[in-house]
């Protein structure tokens, strides 16, 4: 009798437990959604009261980003150094500026080759290495974009986008002094994408980065008012940068801004900073 009573009690307790759903684990590098297995934990909010930004990013360091990164980059370095130099550089002949831009674009095809291969895009990877070979030889070390004139279009692919497509979230938003807007994911992947410059001595690499920064900044001159006249320039830069990165990972979620025809070009340029 006792055995029947115990069995009945155990059966009642087992049957009375409500069924629960299993939730798939989130990306392991997001501070908002760490990899967990229990239902209760996965339902918790890991944004710590902060707004979740595009790409599952948060700006948990906003005070530091605004008062150190933003002020250093845009209120000091850009206003008094980079902007005047970029405007002076912009007065050079178009042929000279195009050659500088082509040179760095040619180097980026090395990254495009590797990153497209990582995404299992062998065709785009072959196109990228073909462009590099053609422009480095016939194009005189990449000063002339002969490949594009031959109908071989560039297949740009950054390691940042590759990581995003692999499920790695943006992580913390960062406004790094000198470097500019980025994220935890971007900081790591962009550093890895700089591997072609490791073949140069430190002084040559530093000079290359400086020239590239000026060339990129000069291309942003037509879009300066977009940030200068914003109600909150810091917040606008943060939003468009994160949305642009997320749009490259998830094209269907890309930002469309028909009010400004130059916004796509602007986003591509700040992405290359």
Where are the domains positioned within the chain?
A: 52-271
Quick one: pLDDT at residue 22?
39
Quick one: pLDDT at residue 17?
44
Quick one: pLDDT at residue 223?
82
Q: Report the predicted TM-score, pTM, of the whole model to 2 decimal places.
A: 0.74
Quick one: pLDDT at residue 42?
40
Quick one: pLDDT at residue 260?
46
Quick one: pLDDT at residue 267?
53
User: Could you write out the three-class secondary structure of the chain?
Assistant: CHHHHHHHHHHHHHHHCCCCCCCCCCCCCCCCCCCCCCHHHHCCCCCCCCCCECCCEECCCHHHHHHHHHHHHHHHHHHHHHHHHHHHHCCCCHHHHHHHHHHHHHHHHHHHHHHHHHCCCHHHHHHHHHHHHHHHHCCCCCCCCHHHHCCCCCCCCCHHHHHHHCCCCCCEEEEECCCEEEEHHHHHHHHHCCHHHHHCCHHHHHHHHHHHHHHHHHHCHHHHHHHHCCCCHHHHHHHHHHHHHHHHHCHHHCCCCCCCCCHHHHHHHHHCC
> What are the tens digits of pLDDT across the range 164-217?
999 999 999 999 998 899 999 999 999 999 999 999 999 999 999 999 999 999
Quick one: pLDDT at residue 30?
46
Residues of the chain falling short of pLDDT 70: 1-50, 253-273
Quick one: pLDDT at residue 248?
92
């Amino acid at each position: 009798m006792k055995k029947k009573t115990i069995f009945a009690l155990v059966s009642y307790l087992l049957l009375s437990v409500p069924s629960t759903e299993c939730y798939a684990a989130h990306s392991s590098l997001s501070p908002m959604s760490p990899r967990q297995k229990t239902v209760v934990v996965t339902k918790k909010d890991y944004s710590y009261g902060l707004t979740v930004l595009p790409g599952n990013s948060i700006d948990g360091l906003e005070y530091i980003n605004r008062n150190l990164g933003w002020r250093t980059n845009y209120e000091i370095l850009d206003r008094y150094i980079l902007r005047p130099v970029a405007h002076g550089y912009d007065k050079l002949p178009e042929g000279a500026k195009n050659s500088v831009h082509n040179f760095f674009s040619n180097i980026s095809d090395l990254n495009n080759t590797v990153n497209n291969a990582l995404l299992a895009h062998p065709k785009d990877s072959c196109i990228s290495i073909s462009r590099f070979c053609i422009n480095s030889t016939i194009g005189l070390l990449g000063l002339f974009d002969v490949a594009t004139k031959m109908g071989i279009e560039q297949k740009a692919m950054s390691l940042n986008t590759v990581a995003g497509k692999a499920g790695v979230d943006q992580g913390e938003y960062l406004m790094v002094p000198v470097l500019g807007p980025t994220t935890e994911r971007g900081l790591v992947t962009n550093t890895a994408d700089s591997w072609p410059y490791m073949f140069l001595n430190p002084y040559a690499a530093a000079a290359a980065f400086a020239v590239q920064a000026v060339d990129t900044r000069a291309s942003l001159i037509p879009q300066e008012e977009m940030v200068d006249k914003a109600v909150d320039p810091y917040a606008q830069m943060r939003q468009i940068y994160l949305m642009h990165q997320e749009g490259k990972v998830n094209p269907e979620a890309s930002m469309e801004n028909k009010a400004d025809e130059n916004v796509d070009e602007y986003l591509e340029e700040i992405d290359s900073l």
